[in-house]
């Protein structure tokens, strides 16, 4: 009995060590997503926030593919006072990452397939089909294959986000 008590702390320490040694969540689920850095720096996230993330669309916390950013819903778990409006506080890195995960997490297996194939057949992804109006989409057909909005997304999926297209995509009339 005394021996068991002496060994117990070692067993507990080993169990804790094993518990903390699991792979990061992305490794665990095996998702291959498009580049997170490009999502922020090439303007993919800004385009999506502006054109899709308004508070009456994907900026609603109850919707599928929730998007966060300065043009819509803010992500502010620490209650620092973030409010909608890009003239007050630009989209934060946490918000870019949350929106990225929201998109990649929609169809992780399909996303992996598209990204691993260099962005081929992006229409396999529901969010592309919906944006093109090929699947039912309450917001209607937002993009047309080949326009700046489409190029912004498909170039990002292909691994080389077109920053110019993403910038134009925010300004052009749909």
Which residues sit at the interface with other proteins, rule CB under 8 A?
50-52, 54-57, 59-61, 71-76, 82-87, 138-140, 171-174
Q: Which is nearer to other proteins, 82 or 111 (CB)?
A: 82
Q: Which is nearer to other proteins, 54 or 113 (CB)?
A: 54
CB 14 within 8 A of CB 20: no
CB of 164 to other proteins, least distance (A): 14
**CA–CA gap between residue 87 and residue 104 (Å, rounded):** 28
CB of 106 to other proteins, least distance (A): 18
CB of 21 to other proteins, least distance (A): 35
Torsion of CA 134, 136, 141, 142, to 10 degrees: -110
| Planar angle of CA 62, 159, 71, nearest 5 degrees | 35
Q: Which is nearer to other proteins, 84 or 108 (CB)?
A: 84
Q: Which is nearer to other proteins, 73 or 158 (CB)?
A: 73
Q: Say which residue the tokens 């502010």 belong to.
A: 76
State phi, psi for 95 to the nearest 5 degrees: -70, -40
């Amino acid at each position: 009995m005394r021996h068991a008590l002496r060994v117990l702390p070692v067993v507990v320490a080993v169990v804790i060590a094993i518990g903390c040694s699991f792979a990061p969540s992305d490794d665990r689920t095996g998702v291959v997503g498009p580049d997170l850095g490009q999502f922020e720096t090439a303007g993919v996230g800004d385009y999506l926030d502006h054109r899709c993330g308004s508070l009456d669309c994907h900026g609603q916390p109850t919707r599928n593919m929730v998007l966060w950013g300065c043009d819509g819903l803010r992500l502010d778990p620490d209650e620092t006072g973030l409010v909608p409006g890009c003239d007050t506080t630009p989209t934060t890195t946490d918000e870019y990452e949350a929106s990225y995960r929201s998109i990649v997490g929609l169809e992780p297996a399909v996303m992996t397939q598209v990204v691993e194939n260099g962005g081929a057949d992006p229409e396999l992804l529901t969010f592309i089909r919906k944006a093109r109006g090929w699947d039912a989409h309450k917001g209607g057909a937002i993009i047309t294959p080949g326009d700046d909005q489409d190029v912004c997304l498909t170039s990002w999926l292909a691994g080389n986000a077109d920053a110019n297209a993403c910038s134009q995509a925010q300004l052009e009339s749909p």
